[in-house]
Structure 1
Amino acid sequence: MSGVVRTVLGDVPGDRLGVVDAHDHLFIRSPLLPGQELDDADDAAARLAAFRDLGGGTVVQWTPYGMGRRADRLAELSRRSGVHVVAATGLHQAVHYAPELLDSVRDSLAELFVREITAGVAGTDGVRAGLIKVAGGFHGLDAHARLTLRAAAEAQHRTGAAVAVHLELGTGALDVLDLLCGELGVSPDRVILGHLNRSPDFAVHRLAAAEGAYLGFDGPSRANHATDWRMPEALEALADAGFADRLLLGGDTVTPDTPGMPYLLRRVRPRLELALGRELVERVMVANPAEAFALRTP
């Protein structure tokens, strides 16, 4: 039996989430993507409606603190669309922020994360985050990644929320697990590793799954990433190895031209069903996220 998932409209039993887009963005802004911001509420509403009309039930927005997540609009969008939305707290890589913003929060990150999960995000009418989003580095962990992962671990212990980790180009998964789980004591089933499709190293995938972490395959149809064409093979290999219960799927819309959440259900899901069978795909999109995103009493 799954626990409750903290959505922007309140806590919801995991078994009521329906089909879940486990990693996406309704709003996001970064200095690395000038002029490609996702900040249009009408566009976000249209994407949610399209996702709902294709059978979608929940979208997990991984946009963390300070990156234009527009938490004040998420409750209204969820209410209008009928789609559950899970918001994130956390902090991305340093390159996504102005130095002065990082200076203002560096010494109180864990407190910030805990407050946004338990009390609510500032400037909203009680919207609470249900997820802690942080990031690793390319094939390792830099000082900023270690700082944010340590804060995320403290917040996880205090709130029971899962820690979702951006893996740069899909690398560094085992380094993340060594720090979060090996050193900092986070249970591996409270860790969600994102972008593993970008580095189709099946041995690393299997080792991370064997530790107990959730593996996110997200960002479909990006021409510069090894995504769609390797995804069925990667998922099948993990399922055959006994790790079907560790798998998650997401659209990861980060720019206006990303196919995103409707594409996930309109094109990716049927393709995976053809290769893997409907039962496995339903497990990945319904049962697994109900467990992965549930709050666990610390």
Structure 2
Amino acid sequence: MTMVRTVLGDVLPEELGVCDAHDHLFLSNPLLAGQELNDASAARAELAAFREAGGGSVVQWTPYGMGRRAADLPLLSRATGVQVVAATGLHQAAHYTPESLAELRRGGLAELFVSELTTGIGTSGVRAGLVKVAGGFHALDAHTRWTMTAAAEAHHATGAPIAVHLELGTGALDVLDLLCGELEVPPHRVVLGHLNRSPDLVTQRQAAGSGAYLAFDGPSRANHATDWRMPDAVSALADAGFGERLLLGGDTTTAGARSVDGGPGMPYLLRRVRPRLELALGEGLVELMLTANPGRAFGVDRR
């Protein structure tokens, strides 16, 4: 039976409801000094606002060592009625100290991912539902190959999906060559994030054609080619037969971007992005992107 692993336990894919397929309730690292997402009250208010806008679930892509606050996630999910999926995984090397990376090498990265997917994150008992890793700008460095190799090992051991941060939307085909070619991860178990930040329709079509999922996320980032080009990109992919491979997410990464702090936040996905896409593409395709597709992308066969 296919299930999605949330912080409150496994649920059927259709129980996700309307899903924000890539976002963050908590996120902290030195590159975001002063803008960390570390306020549980604000996280609860943001989830409640998302719920009020019609949201049913959020997939948090915050990986190991970046302030996930896993123990708080079940409390927030229960309080707001929004399903939450947590992540294991590792971001780019720039987000960690050399000492912490050396310790992870000694302890075994794949073993950490498997433990957090099967036993739980730290002492929280919360099990992750996906592995998040990251590529570089038009390249895969040694750190990327190490983390993706560990992610592939964890996938083969657990069936968990792998979500990939593409730096400025680049490197999608290199990632697929590594994960799905060399490391033999089935393409439909890979979610590629941020492709909308590099509006290369040829690459997007090739990536979708592989069988991977494409997340159009971060719609609040006006300095990237997001909102204004999204209808054309999604329409082109749907016309090419890839409508079932598309996801939508908010990717709120700073405190100032939360709706409760004056930014667009999670509700923006449903308040502005959804109706804009519905006008351009029709309600059926957008509903597919927000409901059925996330259930398939993040569901795994229970083992």
Asked whether the two chains share a fold, i.e. TM above 0.5, the reply is yes
TM class by shorter-chain length?
Answer: over 0.9
The alpha carbon displacement at 1:185 in A equals 0.5
Aligned to 1:10: 9
Aligned to 1:197: 196
User: Contact conserved, 1:219 with 1:260, CA < 8 A, in 2?
Assistant: no
Aligned to 2:261: none
Residue 99 of structure 1 aligns to which amino acid in structure 2? P
Residue 288 of structure 2 aligns to which amino acid in structure 1? R
Distance 1:200-1:241 versus aligned 2 partners, 3 A rule: same
Taking structure 2 as the reference length, the TM-score comes to 0.96
The alpha carbon displacement at 1:257 in A equals 2.1
Farther off after superposition, 252-261 or 225-234? 252-261
* Deviations 1:1-20, CA, capped at 9 Å, x for gaps: x8200000000000111000
* Deviations 1:192-231, CA, capped at 9 Å, x for gaps: 0000010000000000000000001000121211110011
- Given the alignment of the two structures, is residue 280 of structure 1 paired with residue 285 of structure 2, yes or no? yes
* SS in structure 1 of the partner of residue 299 of structure 2: coil
Partner Cα distance (2:181, 2:244) in 1:
22
* Deviations 1:6-43, CA, capped at 9 Å, x for gaps: 00000000011100000000000121111110000000
Residue 273 of structure 1 aligns to which amino acid in structure 2? E
Residue 141 of structure 2 aligns to which amino acid in structure 1? D
Partner Cα distance (1:22, 1:131) in 2:
12
- Given the alignment of the two structures, is residue 27 of structure 1 paired with residue 26 of structure 2, yes or no? yes
The alpha carbon displacement at 1:179 in A equals 0.4
- The RMSD of aligned alpha carbons is 1.0
User: Contact conserved, 1:23 with 1:60, CA < 8 A, in 2?
Assistant: yes
User: Contact conserved, 1:94 with 1:144, CA < 8 A, in 2?
Assistant: yes
Partner Cα distance (2:265, 2:237) in 1:
24
User: Contact conserved, 1:3 with 1:13, CA < 8 A, in 2?
Assistant: yes
Aligned to 1:210: 209
- Given the alignment of the two structures, is residue 174 of structure 1 paired with residue 179 of structure 2, yes or no? no
Aligned to 1:253: 252
The alpha carbon displacement at 1:297 in A equals 5.4
* SS in structure 2 of the partner of residue 295 of structure 1: strand
Q: How does 1:82-97 map to 2 (within 5 A)?
A: 82-97=81-96
Q: How does 1:46-195 map to 2 (within 5 A)?
A: 46-107=45-106, 108-124=108-124, 126-195=125-194
Residue 177 of structure 2 aligns to which amino acid in structure 1? D
Partner Cα distance (1:243, 1:228) in 2:
19
Residue 68 of structure 2 aligns to which amino acid in structure 1? R
Q: How does 1:223-242 map to 2 (within 5 A)?
A: 223-242=222-241
Residue 283 of structure 1 aligns to which amino acid in structure 2? L
User: Contact conserved, 1:24 with 1:260, CA < 8 A, in 2?
Assistant: no
User: Which stretches in structure 2 are left out of the alignment for 5+ residues?
Assistant: 258-263
Q: 2:275 aligns with which of 266, 270, 274?
A: 270
* SS in structure 2 of the partner of residue 56 of structure 1: coil
Residue 194 of structure 2 aligns to which amino acid in structure 1? H
* SS in structure 1 of the partner of residue 255 of structure 2: coil
User: Contact conserved, 2:220 with 2:250, CA < 8 A, in 1?
Assistant: no
**What is the number of equivalent residue pairs in this alignment?**
296
Residue 274 of structure 2 aligns to which amino acid in structure 1? R
- Given the alignment of the two structures, is residue 221 of structure 1 paired with residue 226 of structure 2, yes or no? no
User: Contact conserved, 1:165 with 1:191, CA < 8 A, in 2?
Assistant: yes
Partner Cα distance (1:287, 1:28) in 2:
27
Partner Cα distance (1:277, 1:82) in 2:
28
Q: 1:293 aligns with which of 282, 292, 298?
A: 298
Partner Cα distance (2:82, 2:35) in 1:
25
